[in-house]
Amino acid sequence: MEEQQYQIDLGNLMAFDSYHHFPSVPCSREELVNECLQKGTKLVQAIADALFNLPSTEDLDGPIVTLPPPTTRLPREKPLPKRKPPTKWELFAKKRGIRQHKKDKLVYDEQTDTWKRRHGYDRVNDDNDIPIIEAKMTDEPGEDPFAKRRAEKKQRVEKQEKHRLQNLKQASKVGALPSHVQLAATALPITGMQAAPRKVSKGELENVAGMAATATASGGKFDKKLPGEKPPKHEKKYRKFLPVVEGSGMGSLERQQTDKVLNKLISKNSHEILNVEKAVNMYNVKKDKKRSRQQGKSSSTSSKMKPNKKSFKKTFKKGICKQREVKMKFICLTYVGSSNLYQVLQVFYFEGDNVLIVSFVKSFLGQKGHRILYLYQL
Amino acid sequence: MLEIKTPKTRRAKRVIEKRAPKLVENGKKTLILHGTKTSNVLNAVLTEIYHLKKDNSVKYTRRNDNIRPFESGGETSLEFFSLKTDCSLFVFGSHSKKRPDNLVLGRTYDHHIYDLVEVGVENFKSMKSFSYDKKMAPQIGSKPFFVFIGEGFEGVEELKHLKEILLDLFRGEVVANLNLAGLDRVFVCTAVSSNKVFLTHCALRLKKSGTVVPRMELVEVGPSMDLVVRRHRLPDDNLRKEAMKSAPELAPKKVKNVSRDAIQGKFGKIYIPDQQVGETALPYKAKGLKRERREAKMKGEANKQVVKKPKQDS
């Protein structure tokens, strides 16, 4: 009967005797403690009676019971997580009944005859991997198709980023932003509102003031100084004269400078027009595959290919020309005026060392006044 | 424009996700800190509370000048610390002439102060002063029993509040599965008078009793102290309602046609489709019920020309 009066919360392993009353406060501390412990033992025994009678499963460490949820309700630590609102795409897909299907991670790449990842590094059908683009009649003159491709890709990425941001903004309005994302306003996007002015540091102000002060023809020499203004750090113009007479050491500096600029220009142009190394590489890879297949048919010694391949790679990286036969045919085109016409400038047939081809194309680009637009591999 | 701030490393992301609001929450962490002045007693109290809860608590050792939980404006840095350490329980110790050996126990909700209870510590006895067999010493992080004795915990507002906070402070994580071999500690709280609570920590000894249920024996291991309730602040009603919300996803699904009764237990309703009496197959078919015969009979009555079939012996 006595156990009936206890309130037991098994989820918290708690017992509460709400009827116990100290008739008179015990005179000594020891008495009080003893009485408490006795009463406590009774209550703990009451909890244990309920606890040990729960269905249990035997484990190596001891019997394990499933506790009921606590009946004493205690407040939460943090608010309940809110559900993320659907994105625009999710809404659209639901309306249309579009369901997502799982895609394979690996995709067969026809260009290289291998399985490659769908996304990421060394991906299949990579835009950057295309060495040659066929010219169309509708192409605008003077436009670099490679650059155009890159720009388009960049635009698509930016567009998606914009959409992502918009969806996140929607989520933040509801208060259901993913915990690892924080939106920080760099400036207010609403029209008619001005962004909060950024505080300019003292150093920055000094820099700007100094620049303005020295922006006259005399370098600020005759300007009136403001009270407290410091003299400019560098009073004179930055000029450096190189020796006029040619020679070794300092004498060859001017020549080196001009060479540097020229080289930069040439290399820049060549990069824009054609990724020559890539083109040659791809060609070589294809050729290797073809040859290996043919060899496999005739002698079936695939192991023979491996060391050969290795040695080639090494030499190519080092830049030492080891004899390696390549047969190629290029047609170099150039534009005629502003019309949409291409004119065949020159046709090259190559048969020989691959490194030679690269050097030849580079030299061609440097020497000729025309710009090569496309190289066709026949 | 908006800028997206995301953690730069995986580790940082994991930490942030660990702190995010969840449907089923982790155990609450406790922040233990003190004000400008503390007494020796209070230092010991704070340290021992830290020892009791070593698995999920943070202890600060520096003085804090600007924490006054009950005053407006005095809670800002406390709330900041709560956010920083991800703690939602705090124990703040301070000592002054007006309120000697003062202990403020409180909880936070969403890193804002939820409720507060201020108690004075008296008759403190530390763990060291108890002598017992060290083999029985409770393991860190074990699930404790709670025993509350006295009508004060029901009748007096302050004690009722204190009871809830003590339970929240020491109960640890809510678990579904419990290993019975790991039970080794009890917190005994007794309401001695209307504002005084005797709190002690005991180790538990399970002794064989011959039945399934072992005989429990309490051995006081400390700390033990008297808590005299001074000030307290209950949570705001709206805030309380918000904090007590439970996730609708976690509520048990209602089972159709099953009801429970305190006396008779579980009830089930079974629906049986309407019985089609007319279409049931009869075990014995009376000849007179056959349709042709009935029709023939009707015809015969009309024509008076019935050709009787020779009766076959049955």
Q: Which fold has domain B25-232?
A: Rossmann fold (3.40.50)
Residues 6+ apart with CB under 8 A from B244: A73, A75, A76
At residue B21, φ and ψ (nearest 5 deg) are: -60, 140
Contact B22 A78 (CB under 8 A): yes
CB A62 within 8 A of CB B179: yes
Torsion over CA: A342, A347, A353, A358 (sign): negative
Chain B contacts of A21, Cβ < 8 Å?
150-151
Return the SS3 of A362: helix
**B44-87 pLDDT tens trace:** 999 999 999 998 999 999 999 999 999 988 889 999 999 999 99
Residue A255: Cβ within 10 Å count: 11
**For residue A308, what are its two tokens?**
């050969």
**For residue B170, what are its two tokens?**
């020491």
**B80-126 pLDDT tens trace:** 999 999 999 999 999 999 999 999 999 999 999 999 999 999 999 99
**For residue A256, what are its two tokens?**
């080196």
Beta pairing partners, B218: B204
Average pLDDT per consecutive 10 residues, chain A (378 residues; last block may be shorter): 71 87 73 88 90 87 88 91 91 93 91 89 81 82 86 94 90 84 60 60 81 77 77 69 73 76 64 66 85 69 44 40 48 50 57 58 54 43
- Interstrand relation of A63-66 and B177-179 (parallel, antiparallel or unpaired): antiparallel
- Interstrand relation of B145-149 and A14-17 (parallel, antiparallel or unpaired): parallel
Please give the model's pTM, rounded to 2 decimal places: 0.62
Assign 3-state DSSP to chain A and report helix, strand, coil percentages, each to 5: 40, 15, 45
Domain-wise residue ranges, chain B? 25-232
Nearest-neighbour CA in chain B from A164: distance (Å): 10
CB B158 within 8 A of CB B116: no
Beta pairing partners, A66: B177
Chain B contacts of A45, Cβ < 8 Å?
213, 215-216
Secondary structure E strands in B1-50: 2-5, 30-34
| B223 upstream amide cis, omega within 30 of 0 | yes
What does the pLDDT read at residue A189? 44
| H/E run at residue B258 | strand B258-261
Torsion over CA: B76, B81, B87, B93 (sign): negative
Query: Could you say which residues from 342 to 361 on chain A have a Cβ atom under 8 Å away from some Cβ of chain B?
Result: none
Q: Does A2 touch chain B (CB under 8 A)?
A: no
Q: Minimal Cα distance from A189: which residue of B?
A: B1
Nearest residue, CB atoms, A64 vs list B4, B88, B179: B179
Full DSSP string of A98-148: -------SEEEETTTTEEEESSSTTBTT-GGG-------TTPPTT--HHHH
Beta pairing partners, A328: A350
Nearest residue, CB atoms, A11 vs list B25, B148, B174: B174
